[in-house]
Every structure is written in C-alpha cells, then in structure tokens.
Amino acid sequence: MAVVEARRPVLVGPSLRKAWGLIRQLPAIPTIILSLVVIGAVFAGQLAPHPPTEAELRMRTKPAAWVEGGSTTHLLGTDDQGRDILSRIIHGTRISLAVSLTAVLLAGTIGTVIGLVAGYKGGLVDALLMRLADIGLSMPLILIAVVVAAVNGSSFRNVILVIGLLLWPRFARQVRGETLAIKENDYIALARVAGRSGPYIVGRHVLPNVVPTLLVISTLQMAYVILLEGSLSFLGVGVPPPNPAWGLMIAEGRHLVWTAPWVAAFPGIAMAVTLMAMNMFGDWLRDKLDPKLRQV
C-alpha cells in the first residue's frame, strides 16, 4: 500500500500581511512620484500621445491646453519646432533613468569592490586605493565631460562612462569606512580562526552588512546623476539632440523664456519634482535602515 506523504500547507497570509505592512510604511508622496516616473519610462511609447521627435511647424510654440490659444492635442504645448512637450518629457524619463541606473550601477560596482579591498586589507593597499579615490573626488566631472565630448563627441555612452568612472570614489570611501568597523567584530575574528579565506569573509560576512548603506547611497546618487546628466545636456556635452533629454529641452527653450516660457519650464519642473522625490525617498530609506536613527 502506497504511503502518501502529507505536505505542510503554505501559509501565505502572514507573508502577505508583512509585505503589506512594509508597503504601508513607504512615504506616500515620493513613492507615488517615483512610481509615475518609472511607469512613464517603461511605457513611454504607449503613454506618449505623439512621437517625441515629430515636428509640426504649423503648431510651433503652442501654449498649454488650459491657456488661451492652446490645443487639447498638445496638453503641455509645443516647442519652437512643433514637437509635443508632454511626449518629450515622458520619453525624457526613460533617458534620465537609464543614465542614472547604468552610471550608478557601474560606479557602485567599482566603488564597492575597491572599498571592500581597501577596508579589509588595510595598510599600504588601503593607502594607495584611497589616494586614487581622493584623485577621483578632486576631478571636476563637468570639465572632464566637456573634454571627452570635444575629443569623441557627445553620446549616450560617453555620458555614462564619464559619470560612472568618476563617481566610484563616493561609494568606495563609504564602503571602506563600513568595512573598517565591521572587520573588528568578533565573528570576523572567529571566521579567521576557522581558516576562512579573505574573499570568503568579505563576501559572506562583510558585504551583506554594507548592502543597506549601498542602497541609501545609490538612491541619493541617482538623483545627483540625473541632475548632472541634465547639466551636461544643457551645456551640449551630454545626450545629443534630437533625443528628448530634460536638460537638452531646457537648453532649447532658454531663448524662448520671454515668449514661450513653458518650453523650458515644464521639463525643469519634471526634473525638480523627480529629484525632490528621490532625495525624500533616500532620506526615508536611510532613517529606516540605520538602527541608531530607527531607535531614536
């Protein structure tokens, strides 16, 4: 007679309640804004009412739909080439998020590895790596981006490489400081006595303890990268036209500030609101993950 093994029922209720409790703790305004930004970036092709580079000269510099002379087909108006501003802003979220995510991922990976090695090894290795970090921190990003654009031309790839390769010291110094404190704990000494190798100890015991700090830094640095990418595009050394980058849209509308202020105003508002939401979410995440602040 076959014996059927009884399976333990999967209790999804407590897990769902725990997940819902975490969701309810999220800050409402930043979460809503960032959710809209992500949705706009992912579904830009479906949400944008017009192609972002489609020009219609007879509709040039039309104001917003609620202003006299505006049109409901262009809710936020058009620029001096007749391109729909709302569509360009929606597609601009894709560029901003792509640049910030890629650059922060590149800088975070390099900085985390260097910070872990410097903090765990110490001595001469630590001194050399931190001097490299000091050199990186002293380099002006915008000036280097201008030089790279003058040599290789402005492109999406160059923006990511310049920002990512010069942003790693911010991660490295923070991770190095965390590693110096973590490696003095007793469980690190016990792991060494047990014969564990340095890479094992770093990957198994040190890295998981610096992940909360990395999450906070990455959130705050993404806001900084969006602002930096907008500044580079505004100066003409970032994402090249006719791509609908927010900084490029502001630059294209600066000569229309008195006749058609909405051309530069709406992209500027979109960037400002996104940066505010990211900084607020980063502050909340820092308070949530820092045990000292959570106790207070």
Amino acid present at 263 = V
Amino acid present at 137 = L
- Cβ proximity of 282 and 223 under 8 Å: yes
- 176 burial level (CB within 10 Å; 0-12, 13-18, 19+): buried
240: left (phi over 0), alpha (psi -120 to 50) or beta: beta
* H or E element, residue 286: helix 262-289
Average pLDDT, the chain: 83
Q: What pLDDT score was predicted for residue 8?
A: 47
Helices (H) and strands (E) in the chain, counts: 13, 0
Q: Encode pLDDT of 22-49 as tens digits.
A: 667 778 888 899 999 999 889 988 888 8
d(CA 86, CA 92): 10
Q: Percentages helix, strand, coil for the chain, rounded to the nearest 5?
A: 75, 0, 25
Amino acid present at 71 = S
- Cβ proximity of 182 and 209 under 8 Å: yes
Low-confidence stretches of the chain (pLDDT beneath 70) = 1-23, 290-296
Q: Encode pLDDT of 233-284 as tens digits.
A: 888 787 888 888 888 888 888 888 888 888 889 999 999 999 999 888 888 8
Q: What residues does each domain of the chain span?
A: 28-295
Q: Give the predicted TM-score (pTM) of the model.
A: 0.82
Residue range 28-295 in CATH 3.40.50.170: no
